Amino acid sequence: MSAAGLRARLARGEVLVGDGAWGTQLMARGLPPGQAPEWFALERPEVIEEVARLYVEAGADLVTTDTFGGNRFRLKLHGLDAELARVNRQAVEAVKRAIAGRALVSASVGPTGQLLEPFGDTSADAAEQAFAEQIAVLAEAGADLVCIETMSDLTEAMRAVKAAKSVAPGLPVLATMTFEPNPRGYFTVMGTTVEQAVAGLVAAGADVVGSNCGTGIADMIGIARAMVRVASVPIAIQPNAGLPETQASRIVYRETPESMAERVPELLDLGVAIVGGCCGTGPDHTRAVRAAVVAWQARGGRG
C-alpha cells in the first residue's frame, strides 16, 4: 500500500480497525524481565512477525510496530540507544514481512519518558530531535503512517507531530493522547483538556487525532463525543480492556472482547473513523471489533 493509503481510505469514508496491545503479547512470548519490548526487534524478530500476523488475520487494517519506546531516551535506559536505527528499522521490516500488504504498517512513537521544561530538565527541542531521529528511520524502513500515541504532555505531542512532518512529510500522522475522567470532564495527567488536545494536534499537522489507553471503552465514548464536536480531521479511538487489576500476582484486564465490541457501534455512530485496542486487548478483541464494524455497516452504517 502507498503512503497515502490511510488518507485515501479515510477520505472514502471507510471505518478502519486497529490492532491491540503489544506489550502483553510480547511478555507472553518470553520478554526478559526488565528488558525493553523493542529487544525483540534485535533478537527475536520472528516473534514480532507472529504477533503482527495474528492481528492482521483477526481483521486489523492497521498493525503497529514494536517501537513505542524506540527513542534515544527510552532505549538508553536499557543500554540499547546505540542500536536505535537497527531497532526501529528491523521492527518495521518484521511487521511488513508478516502482513504482506494486507494492512498498513503503523509506526508507533511513544513519549520520551522525560519531563519537559519547565516541569523537568529536558527541552522541547531535545524531545523533537529525538522524535525526528526515530521517525526518520521508521519512514525509511517503509512505514505507511506514523502513530504518535499515549501522550499526556501536549507540547511533547505537538513536537512529535512536527518532527514527523519535518522528516517524513509524505506520511500521514495519527496522534492520540490519554485522558482520565474527573468531575469536570476529561483531562490528561498534565491537565490538558480534550478540546485543547485536538486544537494543538491539528495545528501541529496531525492527519488523525484521538485517544488511546485510559480506563476502558465507556469513558472513551465520552472522550469521542467531546472530540467530534471540535475536530476537523478523522478520529481514532483505542481503549484499554478496562483498568488493570492484580490477581494472583498477575495483571489482568476485565473487559472481554464481547463487552468491548458491544460498545463499538456507539463510537461509530459518533463518527469515529478508526477503532482499535490498547492495554489488555489482543487478537480476540480485534476480531470482535471487526465483527462489530461489519455488523454496523450491514445495518446501514457508512464505509
Percentage of the residues of the chain whose pLDDT score is greater than 70: 94
Give the pLDDT confidence of 107-119 residue by residue, as tens digits: 999 999 999 999 9
The answer to whether the beta carbons of residues 279 and 22 sit under 8 Å apart is: no
For residue 68, give the 3-state DSSP assignment: coil
pLDDT tens readout for residues 49-96 = 999 999 999 999 999 999 999 999 999 999 999 999 999 999 999 999
Going by C-beta distance under 8 Å and a sequence separation of 6 or more, which residues neighbour residue 43? none
Residue ranges per structural domain of the chain: 5-298
300 falls in which pLDDT band (50, 70, 90)? Answer: confident
Q: Which three cell numbers stand for residue 236?
A: 481514532
How far apart CA 263 and CA 55 sit, in angstroms, is 20
> 5-298 belongs to which homologous superfamily?
Homocysteine-binding-like domain (3.20.20.330)
Confidence of residue 3 (pLDDT cuts 50, 70, 90): very low
Rounded CA-CA distance 282/235 in Å is: 21
Cα–Cα distance measured from residue 274 to residue 217, given in angstroms and rounded to the nearest whole number: 14
Take residue 33 and report the three cell numbers written for it: 524481565
Cross-strand pairs, 237: 211, 275
Task: Output the pLDDT for position 1.
Answer: 39
The whole-model pTM stands at 0.95
